[in-house]
Structure 1
Amino acid sequence: MKQEKMAVWVAGALLALSSSAFADTVVKIGFASPLSGPQAHYGKDNENAIKMAISDLNASPITVAGQKLKFELVSEDDQADPRIGTQVAQRLVDADVKAVIGHFNSGVSIPASRIYSEAGIPQLSVATNPAYTQSGYKTTFRLVGSDSQIGGALGRFAVMGLKAKNIVVIDDRTAYGQGIADEFIKSLGAMGKQPLKHEYTTDKANDFTAILTSIRALKPDVIFYGGADAQAAPMVKQMKRLGINAKLMGGDMLNTPTFIQLAGVDAAGHYSAVAGGVLGQRAAGKSFEARYKALYKQDIVLLGPQFYDGVMLVADAMKKANSLDRAKFLPLIGKTGYKGVTADFSFDALGNLKNAPVTISEVSNGSWQVKSVAH
């Protein structure tokens, strides 16, 4: 009887050891974006794309150090709020994620970057404010071009493309809005021009009548707005009502279906620039776009594809390092030559994306139409 019990115990132990040997190693990937509030449409787009990346990796598992990996998403809502963003960052650190893809907003990404740096966790963000990579952290990487590139491209397009003479700037005082407005003004200065006026609002405002009335007499050709689509849409409607015929121009947070939906017919003829190339001009990008639409029954909102690339880039670095040790795979992110759906990724010493394209588009016939691509 004792021998039978011993045999059963040994068989059970061997089975357990066998199961353990073939068990997948779980790899947690952190994600943070605004998933509630007025910027939730950006965050949900990012989350949709990152879920696609996790699903793709798990459908064709990679092996690292002899172990098959199973990727798991740890998703957090930072509400586009710097204070909440730092709390979210600490939660992701406590969850022992291997990397963080996020945040979406510069104002959240910048303070969160210190927390990730102290934990040695790589952070791949779409933050465009130049300050994001200027702290010297070895953990920060920018998946798109910076405001310097976007603001510069918009400034040159305003002066040389639109032949604008009277330019006014409005920004919402966020890290994103102020950052891109400042870079736009710098680009004007490089061409010997200055805005006639620089006005300020907030990212919660929706009535710009006082500001617009104050600049109407200047007869602006272009009004540059540093801010998001939820504010830009009522702004163009109020411009129309006040008889201001200027072109509104802004960064990537204007380049959404939401801007067109909210502004209606008044969206036509206004411009935006996105830190990235034309997705459909890359075979992988075109395929991704088709899969995204088929899966979620909607168009890509803005930078979701970059979040997808961020996950894939981290997985590629783990595979090349043959290790899940951050100290070993982190340096390989900085040395990557990964070809993604949005770009051929390589980073400079600060973690900035090299050769980052900027796409300028205009609303025409109810959609954003590409006008030019700059590098």
Structure 2
Amino acid sequence: MQLTKMTRLSLAVAAALTLAACGNKEEAPADASAAQSGAAAGEVVKLGFAAPLTGPQSHYGEEYKNGVTLAIEDANAEKPTIGGKPVTFELVAEDDQADPKTATQLAQKFVDNQVSGIVGHFNSGTSIPASKIYSDAGLPQVAMATAPAFTQQGYKTTFRSMTSDTQQGSVMGKFVVEKLAAKKIVIVDDRTAYGQGLADEFEKAVKAAGGEVVKREFTNDKATDFAAIITSIKGTAPDVVFFGGADAQSAPMAKQMKRLGLKAPLVSGEMTKTPTFLKLAGKEAEGTIASLAGLPLEKMPKGGDYATRYKARFNADVATYSPYGYDATRVIIAAMKEADSVKPADYLPKLAAINYSGVTSAAWSYDQNGDLKDGGITVYKVEGGEWKVMETIGGAGAAAAPAASAAQ
């Protein structure tokens, strides 16, 4: 009986040792695999991204983010090496809610988390206050912001991914006077950095072209009832009503203008030239005119291929901003490769001097302020419920003159 107990004890111990040994054998390959995976991945390079991902402007931010996501996936598929070792780019995306205070908090968070570059913010009103924090940290920022003030602060870390409103406003002001034969013009803006900045530049150009601004009104970026403003401006019998702001406001404005009998067409900027505007405004969208920086997607250097790949990846059509987010991300990565370093201080000079062939431009490069050299504006009009090209003005040097003149 005693021998049987000992035998059983010995067998139990042996079994336990065997199981432990098996466990160690199973863990060893897993650890080795993890080590090999880490070696293959090399350094993880974090790129910060901020835009409105919730709220009434979330459709802008989500599409913008999709472009950045696709750029990072494409870059990683190329198995890049920088500084003699493989790198993997990682997107760190945050929702700034189109709110300046939230944007500055996120900017400090990005700096504290030691991201290597910033794509964003989307809005001028968030990009401008955040840019001070990035500048103090020496962290390059390529933003969608179009307000002139963004690159007029003297920061060496601020760059655009779209044409400045200095150019867009000046082109559109001249366009409505000379091409639409408008003489009496009303201007409304939403008092954001973007909306007011665009309206200011538009007003300068209207007056320079011989047009008259008969009334200027303002609202805010949360408003949806414009009856009082429309009633106020209707008596001036304007030829055109220009709105500086987003589609969440321009769509109900377009509907209410038609319903209150104001026959002047609504003219606006790129935040109105969206599928969302068409959906929100419905049949009252007809006749609305909007400008957009750059070429139409089908005429962009790599627009066709991008549209196909975007559709396959996100099961959606390109709206407006994703190609610019894509190029902004690839430009930062290209600068890192040229510098052979992911350190902001090392690649910042390369970014400033970049000459990159991207989706939106075959010659993406910056002037001394961080503004794009290769600009151009396309004017669209809603016809039959769709945005259709009216005219493309400038680009590849032809549009540089009005932009430079306005900047002076």
Cα 1:63–1:234 change in 2 (3 A) is same
- State the partner residue of 2:364: 345
Output one character per residue of 1:176-212: Cα deviation in whole Å (capped at 9) or x when no partner: 1100000000101211333100001111100000010
- State the partner residue of 2:384: 365
- For residue 19 of structure 1, report the CA deviation from its aligned partner: 6.8
Pairing of 1:61-80 with structure 2 (within 5 A): 61-80=79-98
- For residue 15 of structure 1, report the CA deviation from its aligned partner: 9.6
- State the partner residue of 1:93: 111
Cα 1:95–1:214 change in 2 (3 A) is same
- For residue 48 of structure 1, report the CA deviation from its aligned partner: 1.0
Output one character per residue of 1:28-66: Cα deviation in whole Å (capped at 9) or x when no partner: 010000000000000000111111111111111211111
TM-score (norm 1): 0.94
The structure 2 residue matched to 1:198, chosen from 216, 233, 239, is: 216
Which deviates the most, 351-360 or 296-305?
296-305
The SS at the match of 1:202 is coil
- State the partner residue of 1:165: 183
Cα 1:216–1:65 change in 2 (3 A) is same
- State the partner residue of 1:3: none
Cα 1:188–1:127 change in 2 (3 A) is same
- For residue 283 of structure 1, report the CA deviation from its aligned partner: 4.2
Structure with higher Rg: it is: 2
Distance 2:243 2:42 in 1: 49
- State the partner residue of 2:140: 122
C-alpha contact (below 8 Å) 1:317/1:329 kept by paired residues: yes
In angstroms, what is the RMSD of aligned CA positions?
1.9
- State the partner residue of 1:108: 126
Distance 1:33 1:109 in 2: 9
Unaligned 5+ runs, structure 1? 1-7
C-alpha contact (below 8 Å) 1:361/1:369 kept by paired residues: yes
The SS at the match of 1:170 is strand
Distance 1:355 1:337 in 2: 11
Number of aligned positions between the proteins: 366
- For residue 161 of structure 1, report the CA deviation from its aligned partner: 1.0
C-alpha contact (below 8 Å) 2:48/2:117 kept by paired residues: yes
- State the partner residue of 2:312: 294
1:151 aligns with 2:169: yes
- State the partner residue of 2:63: 45
Cα 1:95–1:365 change in 2 (3 A) is same
TM-score (norm 2): 0.86
Distance 1:61 1:329 in 2: 19
The structure 1 residue matched to 2:152, chosen from 130, 134, 142, is: 134
Which deviates the most, 289-298 or 165-174?
289-298
Unaligned 5+ runs, structure 2? 1-24, 26-30, 395-408
Distance 2:142 2:39 in 1: 32
- State the partner residue of 1:252: 270
C-alpha contact (below 8 Å) 1:143/1:310 kept by paired residues: yes
C-alpha contact (below 8 Å) 1:30/1:101 kept by paired residues: yes
Output one character per residue of 1:98-142: Cα deviation in whole Å (capped at 9) or x when no partner: 100000100100000000011111000111110000111110001
The SS at the match of 1:265 is helix
For 2:128, give the aligned amino acid.
I
For 1:351, give the aligned amino acid.
G
- Which consecutive segments of 4 or more residues in structure 1 shift more than 2 A? 13-23
The structure 1 residue matched to 2:241, chosen from 223, 228, 235, is: 223
- State the partner residue of 2:282: 264
Distance 2:119 2:179 in 1: 35
- For residue 273 of structure 1, report the CA deviation from its aligned partner: 0.6
Which deviates the most, 277-286 or 150-159?
277-286
1:189 aligns with 2:207: yes
For 1:231, give the aligned amino acid.
Q
The SS at the match of 2:71 is helix
Which deviates the most, 68-77 or 282-291?
282-291
- State the partner residue of 1:178: 196
- State the partner residue of 1:4: none
C-alpha contact (below 8 Å) 1:41/1:301 kept by paired residues: no
The SS at the match of 2:213 is coil
Distance 1:317 1:236 in 2: 43
Cα 1:25–1:187 change in 2 (3 A) is same
Distance 1:242 1:69 in 2: 59
